[in-house]
Amino acid sequence: MRRTTLRRAAALWLLLFGIYAATIGLDAYGSTDYPGDEPHFLLTAKSIVEDGSADLVDEFRTRDYEDISGADLQPHGALTKGQLNEPHGVGFPLLIAPAYAMGGPVAVEVFLAAIAALAIVAAYALALRVAPDPWAIGAAILAGLSPPMLAWSTAVQPAVAAGAALAGALLLALRLSERQTRAGALGCFLLLGMLPWLSARYIVPMVLLAAFTARILWTRPRRMLAVGGVEIIGFSLAFYGGLNNGLFGGLTPYAAQLPGETITGAHSFSEHIDRSYRFVALWIDREYGLLRWAPLFAMAWIGLWFVWREWRAGLARVIPELRTEELAAALCASVIAAQLVVATFFTPTMFGFWFPGRHLMPVLPLMVPLVAIGLRHMPRLGAVLGSIGLIASVWLYVDVRWGDGGLIVGRPNAPWGPLEVAWPSFQGQDVVPYVVAAVVAVVVAIVFFVDARVWQRLLRRERAASPV
């Protein structure tokens, strides 16, 4: 059984790596391959490889960025101590620097395609803890071939790399709950310690998962492993803050932002609260919503509902095997919720010059186990939603590769065509986003918190009242 699983995992990685590598060269807009922050990450990696420094003063003075981006690139940060260290940090550029040294931007994309495929393989391993094959492998394949994964697999952004680190760390944490080993604990905490270096916005899910793992080890006779793991996290954060203070003039790279800008893009508590509609908009917005492009991930909510119902019914007391499923599902949902809170309240905007799903990509692999549970209970609905996502992926790829479309500008209205207008638009609206978000939130709360027996009684009454 283990050999079969390993063969499937290897085949899954090869399949996805080949498909992701085939997305290299897809235009973001016009004939530009690297939009938004991507040329800045590549330029920093180039500076590290050629000069041994993240300082971009010389690169902008000599216009070295023209080899990467045909557009006129402008610095994203201010001079700090006479250096131009951009507020994106040095962690991700350091990660891709070896690939850049080997083959430039294309080699970086190949490297990121390998990491993206590895993230889905880790998601598959997580899914096997809550559902057997074919549901686990089916969820992994459908998620891996969804439009967001295709678009972000080779994007020079840290989101997918963070997703791989989170999925790997969570998998090791769950294994530590069963068998505590030094290698497992070290690997888990090292992966978690990488997250701040990829982006300061991954600190919240990192702390949540690190606390869970430390608690597991502390309640077992391996308390020194818990202490060692906390020390790894503490050292990573201390070194991160110290290096940033030297390079950027603050605890995070965002200290080097242009005057007047903040790490969250807001200046008051009320401005942060005004973003509450994003909790729903990140899922269903017409242009930037995850479900609009990959409806398969609605099965994650369905899977979570089934786990919630099992937990409320106390079935794990009767069927002990369900405890593993409940723990894995609850941990995945908790990390997803933590990232969703960050994306909702602490990111400057959910609309921008990127493909949809950016803020949820770090936790997209963690949705795969919940999707697998949903597929197991509702396979026909899952097959329909997954098929819609595959159609969207093929449509998107063909239009961008051989048509006039782009991943950023000129995206096709796949997979809905004229029915796309059925999805609500939250951009440029005043009251509508809050009304739609409130209605959706209330409906979801009712579905989760009204006992299943109430729904069964209502359905029985409806059948009894209906004429024969």
**What are 128-142's pLDDT values in tens digits?**
999 998 999 999 999
CA gap 199, 243 in Å, rounded: 14
User: Does 465 have pLDDT greater than 70?
Assistant: no
**What's the Cα-to-Cα distance from 355 to each of 170, 259, 397, rounded to whole Å?**
26, 28, 13
Mean of pLDDT values over 89-116: 94
What's the number of CA atoms in the CB half-sphere (13 Å) around residue 245? 7
Return the pLDDT at 384: 95
Return the pLDDT at 263: 78
Instruction: Kindly report, residue by residue over 167-204, the tens digit of the pLDDT.
Output: 999 999 999 888 888 888 899 999 999 999 999 899 99
User: Does 21 have pLDDT greater than 50?
Assistant: yes
Q: Is 189 within the bounds of a domain?
A: yes
> Looking up tokens 């990959």, which residue turns up?
294
User: Does 220 have pLDDT greater than 50?
Assistant: yes
Return the pLDDT at 365: 96
Domain enclosing residue 311, as ranges: 2-428
Mean of pLDDT values over 76-101: 82
Mean of pLDDT values over 394-404: 92
CA gap 22, 154 in Å, rounded: 10
Return the pLDDT at 410: 85
Return the pLDDT at 454: 53
Closest CA to 426 of 270, 294, 278: 278
Instruction: Kindly report, residue by residue over 231-259, the tens digit of the pLDDT.
Output: 999 999 999 888 888 887 778 887 777 66
CA gap 145, 415 in Å, rounded: 14
Mean of pLDDT values over 151-161: 94
Closest CA to 41 of 7, 4, 92: 92
DSSP assignments along 9-61, one per residue: HHHHHHHHHHHHHTTTT--SBTTBS--TTHHHHHHHHHHHHHHSS---HHHHH
**What's the Cα-to-Cα distance from 350 to each of 283, 289, 362, rounded to whole Å?**
11, 9, 15
Q: Is 451 within the bounds of a domain?
A: no
* Residue ranges in 254-363 assigned as alpha helix (H): 269-273, 278-284, 290-293, 298-313, 315-318, 322-345
Return the pLDDT at 462: 46
Q: DSSP letter for 258, please.
A: P
In the chain, the number of structural domains is: 1
Return the pLDDT at 56: 79
Q: Is 200 within the bounds of a domain?
A: yes
The β-bridge partners of 83 are 80
- pLDDT category of residue 433 using cuts at 50, 70 and 90: confident
Return the pLDDT at 153: 95
Return the pLDDT at 88: 82
Closest CA to 392 of 28, 137, 155, 148: 148
Return the pLDDT at 436: 81
Return the pLDDT at 198: 94
Return the pLDDT at 1: 52
User: Does 375 have pLDDT greater than 70?
Assistant: yes
Q: Is 404 within the bounds of a domain?
A: yes
Mean of pLDDT values over 82-102: 86
Q: Is 436 within the bounds of a domain?
A: no
Q: Is 440 within the bounds of a domain?
A: no
User: Does 421 have pLDDT greater than 60?
Assistant: yes
Mean of pLDDT values over 1-23: 91
Report yes or no on whether pTM surpasses 0.85.
Answer: yes
- pLDDT category of residue 424 using cuts at 50, 70 and 90: confident
Return the pLDDT at 366: 96
Return the pLDDT at 3: 80
Mean pLDDT over all residues of the chain?
86
Return the pLDDT at 276: 87
Return the pLDDT at 425: 87
- How large a percentage of the chain has pLDDT more than 90? 46
What is the Rg, in whole angstroms, of the alpha carbon atoms belonging to the chain? Answer: 23
User: Does 458 have pLDDT greater than 60?
Assistant: no
Q: Is 460 within the bounds of a domain?
A: no
User: Does 370 have pLDDT greater than 90?
Assistant: yes
Return the pLDDT at 468: 42
Mean of pLDDT values over 73-79: 73
Q: Does residue 78 or residue 233 have the better pLDDT?
A: 233
Instruction: Kindly report, residue by residue over 29-74, the tens digit of the pLDDT.
Output: 877 778 888 988 998 899 899 888 887 777 777 777 777 776 677 7
**What's the Cα-to-Cα distance from 345 to each of 66, 340, 365, rounded to whole Å?**
35, 9, 22
